[in-house]
């Protein structure tokens, strides 16, 4: 008797993509994200490398491709925040702020000071709000993706960004 | 009370400010400049990853006459095969991921599935030539037991005790039992060919029904009481001579030194010659 035809639906395991494929797929947006966040060519290059190395080491923990992008952004964001924290600690000692000012591009109509002020205000935000804000505004992630990265609901990701923006607004208003 | 603003409807002032924060030389790089950066970044990343790079393993699912299987192949050979009704795919994949970068490859899995089908159709050559990789087996004892077991050909069986003796640990039959239960490569490393010393079939990781099905497909006739067949012959592991069960040599020598063939033809097929005393048929 002939064997009954097997079902046509292909059996898939839904594995995460191979690492190199993931690099090829996300390298450009991640580099842009790091450039925007660090505003420094060399820092972006360093953090790019560190992000992918960390991702590679943690790759065995990935069970599927779902949530890969927010996961990568979470690694990158954490690295950016660590670096910013280190810089701030150091700047308290050596007055980095002035060097920053000197190195910054010539600003038009005092926008420059606003930027510095905003930077400080962002640094003072609570951890989750700052991460949510950075991912949303600098990384351009969807709220659902931020939620996956932060391990919270879409609503709280949205609320986090909102609260962060509200605080920044207040801080900008107070300073002007 | 004022309606709460949505984040996207906030004052343009904030957006201007965040925009300003983004506006730097670095952020305004052209695609060409980013390309240049990426080329450099890729080279650096490749150098940094090389020393910690895991090998690749191709994994896929197989629909076989023995049920659904998961197969994984490393550059060295078949590294895992599992009955998915007795083991959870997620746990096998998690184990594999610790050592390998996994790539889904249904074509590779299908080739293994075809081999298994041919094997079940009685083609004794179907699975024996595929190289295997025992990377998932950590203990040297277990590696020895599984490697030695590959020498037990289709159409024959060996006892747990016999296999323990064959790797130089005659009293380790329990450890051999545990090794069989955790065999990462059933079918290819034929743990279904290991039976109890009293001639009963014993257990199998994929269930006794599969064990019987495999043994029967390989020509090893098992009767209804799960006993070894009456016309079985006993092959001596070292001397490569086979005898009938009644032979005085079989009675004298320790049982554990024998491979039990379903009949004389299978023993000859495995390169053994008949005993001149008992002249097994």
Domain ranges, ordered by start, for chain A: 19-175
Read off the pLDDT of residues A11-40 as tens digits, 9 standing for 90 and up: 788 899 999 999 999 999 999 989 888 888
Residues B195 and B156 in one domain: yes
Overall domain count for chain B: 2
Least confident interval from A103-107, A145-149, B150-154, B258-262:
A103-107
ipTM higher than the 0.85 cut:
no
Residues B87 and B195 in one domain: no
Strand intervals (E) in A53-161: none
- More confident site: B226 or A131: A131
Residues B158 and B90 in one domain: no
pLDDT recorded at residue B76: 96
CATH number of the domain that residue B85 is part of: 3.30.160
Please answer yes or no on whether B20 and A23 come within 8 Å at the CB atom: no
pLDDT recorded at residue B86: 83
Residues B66 and B152 in one domain: no
Do the beta carbons of residue A157 and residue A147 sit within 8 Å? yes
Strand intervals (E) in chain B: 55-64, 67-74, 77-83, 100-104, 156-159, 194-195, 233-236, 241-243, 258-261, 273-274
A19-175 has which CATH code?
Answer: 1.10.10.10
Is residue B46 less than 8 Å (CB to CB) from chain A? Answer: no
Residue B2 lies in a domain: no
Last residue of a domain, one of B89, B120, B151: B120
Residues B160 and B109 in one domain: no
CATH number of the domain that residue B204 is part of: 1.10.10.10
Geometric angle at alpha carbon A131, from A63 and B49, rounded to 5°: 50
For this structure, is B275 an active site residue? no
Residues B148 and B266 in one domain: yes
Size of interface A-B (CB pairs under 8 A): 122
Is residue B52 less than 8 Å (CB to CB) from chain A? Answer: yes
Return the closest-CA partner of residue A37 out of A28, A27, A51, A47. Answer: A47
Residues B187 and B251 in one domain: yes
Residues B252 and B172 in one domain: yes
Closest A-chain CA to B63: A6
- Can you give the residue range of the structural domain that contains B110? 54-120
Residues of chain B with pLDDT under 50: 1-3, 5, 13, 20, 23-25
Do the beta carbons of residue B47 and residue B63 sit within 8 Å? no
Is residue B59 less than 8 Å (CB to CB) from chain A? Answer: yes
Please answer yes or no on whether B106 and A45 come within 8 Å at the CB atom: no
pLDDT recorded at residue B212: 92
User: Which member of A12, A32, A158 has the closest CB to residue B34?
Assistant: A32
Residue B18 lies in a domain: no
Please answer yes or no on whether B102 and A15 come within 8 Å at the CB atom: yes
List chain B residues with CB under 8 Å of A23. 42, 45
Residue from B23, B45, B57, B84 to probe the interface with A (highest A Cβ count within 10 Å): B45
Residues B146 and B90 in one domain: no
Read off the pLDDT of residues A111-124 as tens digits, 9 standing for 90 and up: 566 667 777 788 78
Residues B243 and B189 in one domain: yes
Q: What is the mean pLDDT of chain A?
A: 80
């Amino acid at each position: 008797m002939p064997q009954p035809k097997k079902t046509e639906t292909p059996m898939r395991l839904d594995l995460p993509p191979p690492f190199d494929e993931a690099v090829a797929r996300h390298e450009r947006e991640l580099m842009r994200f790091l450039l925007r966040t660090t505003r420094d060519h060399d820092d972006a290059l360093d953090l790019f490398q560190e992000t992918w190395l960390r991702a590679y080491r943690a790759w065995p923990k990935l069970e599927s491709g779902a949530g890969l992008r927010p996961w990568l952004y979470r690694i990158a964001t954490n690295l950016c925040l660590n670096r910013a924290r280190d810089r701030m600690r150091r700047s308290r000692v050596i007055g980095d702020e002035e060097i920053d000012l000197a190195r910054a591009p010539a600003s038009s109509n005092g926008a420059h000071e606003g930027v510095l002020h905003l930077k400080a205000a962002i640094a003072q935000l609570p951890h989750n709000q700052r991460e949510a804000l950075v991912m949303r505004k600098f990384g351009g992630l969807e709220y659902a993706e931020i939620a996956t990265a932060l391990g919270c609901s879409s609503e709280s990701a949205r609320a986090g960004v909102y609260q962060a923006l509200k605080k920044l607004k207040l801080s900008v208003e107070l300073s002007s | 009370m004022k309606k709460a603003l949505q984040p996207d409807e906030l004052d343009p002032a904030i957006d201007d400010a965040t925009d300003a924060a983004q506006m730097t030389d670095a952020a305004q790089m052209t695609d060409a400049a980013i390309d240049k950066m990426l080329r450099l970044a890729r080279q650096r990343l490749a150098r940094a990853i090389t020393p910690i790079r895991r090998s690749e393993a191709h994994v896929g699912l197989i629909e076989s006459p023995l049920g659904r299987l998961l197969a994984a192949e490393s550059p060295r050979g078949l590294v895992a095969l599992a009955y998915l009704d007795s083991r959870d795919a997620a746990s096998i994949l998690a184990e594999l991921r610790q050592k390998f970068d996994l790539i889904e490859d249904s074509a590779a899995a299908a080739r293994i599935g075809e081999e298994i089908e041919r094997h079940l159709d009685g083609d004794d050559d179907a699975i024996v030539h595929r190289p295997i990789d025992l990377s998932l087996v950590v203990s040297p004892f277990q590696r020895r037991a599984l490697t030695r077991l590959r020498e037990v050909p289709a159409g024959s069986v060996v006892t747990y005790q016999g296999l323990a003796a064959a790797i130089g640990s005659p009293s380790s039959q329990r450890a051999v039992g545990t090794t069989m239960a955790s065999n990462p490569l059933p079918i290819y490393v034929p743990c279904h060919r290991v039976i109890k010393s009293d001639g009963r079939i014993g257990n199998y990781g994929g269930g006794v029904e599969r064990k019987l099905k495999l043994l029967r497909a390989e020509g090893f006739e098992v009767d209804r009481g799960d006993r070894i067949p009456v016309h079985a012959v006993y092959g001596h592991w070292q001397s490569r001579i086979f005898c009938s069960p009644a032979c005085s040599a079989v009675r004298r020598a320790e049982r554990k030194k024998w491979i039990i063939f379903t009949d004389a033809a299978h023993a000859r097929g495995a390169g053994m010659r008949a005993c001149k005393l008992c002249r097994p048929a």
